[in-house]
Amino acid sequence: MSNRNYSYPIDPNWSIKDLETVIKMFNVVERAYEEGAQREQILDCYRKFKKVIPAKSEEKQLGRDFYKKSGYQLYSVVKEARTTDKKLIRLSRR
């Protein structure tokens, strides 16, 4: 399990619902690295995340910020979920 002495990259202007959606996405990314996450859950969280963060540039910035703080890559988890038929997605840090 990770140390988790880091904070999530968030925007104080987001609504509570939007905050929950973004945090849930980062939680599923963490789970994909730590114990494995269900592919469908990743894709579902990502669809909801994209409603909050529709701009690719903002998604990339949040992903970079999260990676710097946690060592977990949002892009890698979503890419794996999109390109595989495996039900459980588990990645390792490189």
Domains and CATH numbers, the chain: 16-84 (1.10.220.80)
Helix (H, G, I), strand (E, B) or coil at 5: coil
The answer to whether 46 touches 37, Cβ cutoff 8 Å, is: no
Q: Measure the CA angle with vertex 12, ends 77 and 5; round to 5°.
A: 55
Q: What is the pLDDT along the chain (94 residues), one digit of tens a residue?
A: 455 677 888 899 999 999 999 999 999 999 999 999 999 999 999 999 999 999 999 999 999 999 999 999 999 999 999 999 999 999 987 6
Nearest CA-CA partner of 62 in 46, 84, 40, 42 = 46
Categorise residue 24: left if φ over 0, alpha if ψ from -120 to 50, beta otherwise.
alpha
Here the tokens at position 41 are 């859950």
The overall pTM is greater than 0.95: no
